[in-house]
Amino acid sequence: MSRPQPRELRVTRKTLITPNMLRVTLGGENISTIPADQESSHVKLIFPQGETKPFVRTYTIRQQRPTEIDIDFVLHEDGGPASTWAKNVQTNEAIMIGGPGPKKMITHTTDWQLLVGDMTALPAISVNLAKLPDDAKGYAVIEVVSEEDIQALSHPAGIELKWIINPHPGQHSTTLLDAVKALPWLEGVPSVWTACEFSSMKALRAFFKNDKAVSKENLYISSYWKLGSNEDQHKIAKRDDAETAL
């Protein structure tokens, strides 16, 4: 299947979800080029910068309606190109969007589920939780910057939410790992879905593979960003890591 060509969408509104997360809603005449049922898939936001190569940043479709999609942005203090754009963009301004790419969903057929991530993964975790079967059990461990960033999420009653406060994302690579290690490990076969900062991802991956022997088919683990690196540098680090992890 050929990759969808980038198309122009327009900002229809902005909503501050929590102090550190801003939702930008996109629509416009090209919204029909986004296929249905794309919540949790990723899109590429393309930010032109004159005659040089544009910035491209990857984001998750948090919610989708027939005429709109929602993209949630973590508001960084240092203001990268995407979060700066989100803070400053006005209604009806245009943005080029590539994708969507494939969805990465947690396996539903195991005995229990464990979702782990920081605020960059919160949109994808939110969709995963909402789509779990009603009788699902397990945990979601979510790192946020402050208590005010805790969101009300739709989830099965058997999934326990564990919110971890870390005011300095990425600077404590074992924050999520320590929280996961403190969980009572449930009986049966788990499926694990994890996305977070690069160093934190590596620590969690080692734990799930070596300490808990989670099978490859039941483990999705990815880094969404790397402290001190832009997206292009992060891609290189991910590629090098994938080669050494084989």
Tell me what pLDDT residue 2 has. 59
Identify whether the C-beta of residue 47 lies closer than 8 Å to the C-beta of residue 82. Answer: yes
pLDDT value at position 146?
96
**Tokens representing residue 155 in the block:** 């989830």
Averaged pLDDT of the chain: 93
Q: Give the DSSP per-residue string, 15-42.
A: EEEETTEEEEEEESTTGGGS-SS-TT-E
Instruction: Assign 3 a pLDDT band (cuts: 50, 70, 90).
Output: low
Question: Tens digits of per-residue pLDDT, 32-66?
Answer: 999 999 999 999 999 988 788 888 999 999 999 99
Class for the domain spanning 112-245:
alpha beta
d(CA 177, CA 212): 13
Cα diameter, the chain: 57
Task: Using alpha carbons, select from 162, 114, 127, 172 the residue that is nearest to residue 142.
Answer: 162
* Percent of the chain residues past pLDDT 90, beyond the cut: 81
Determine phi and psi for 122, rounding to 5 degrees.
-55, -40
Distance (Å, rounded) from C-alpha 197 to C-alpha 145? Answer: 14
Indicate the pairing of strand 190-197 with strand 219-225: parallel
Asked if the model's pLDDT at residue 148 lies above 90, the reply is yes
State mean pLDDT over 126-155.
98
Look at residue 97 and give its three-state secondary structure: strand
pLDDT digits (tens, 9 = 90+) for 90-111: 999 999 999 999 999 999 999 9
* Domain regions of the chain by residue span: 7-98, 112-245
CA distance linking residue 184 with residue 192, whole number of Å: 15
d(C-alpha 205, C-alpha 237), whole Å = 15
Nearest-10 Cα torsion for 152, 157, 158, 161: 10
Q: For residue 139, is pLDDT > 90?
A: yes
Average pLDDT of the segment spanning 216-238 = 85
Crossing angle, helix 198-206 and helix 231-245, to 10 degrees? 20
Architecture of domain 7-98: Beta Barrel (2.40)
Reported pTM: 0.94
Task: Return the SS3 of 229.
Answer: coil
For the residues of 140-202, what is the DSSP string, one character each? EEEEESSGGG-------TEEEEEEEE-SSTTS-TTHHHHHHHTSPPPSS-EEEEEEEEHHHHH
Who wins on pLDDT, 147 or 171? 147
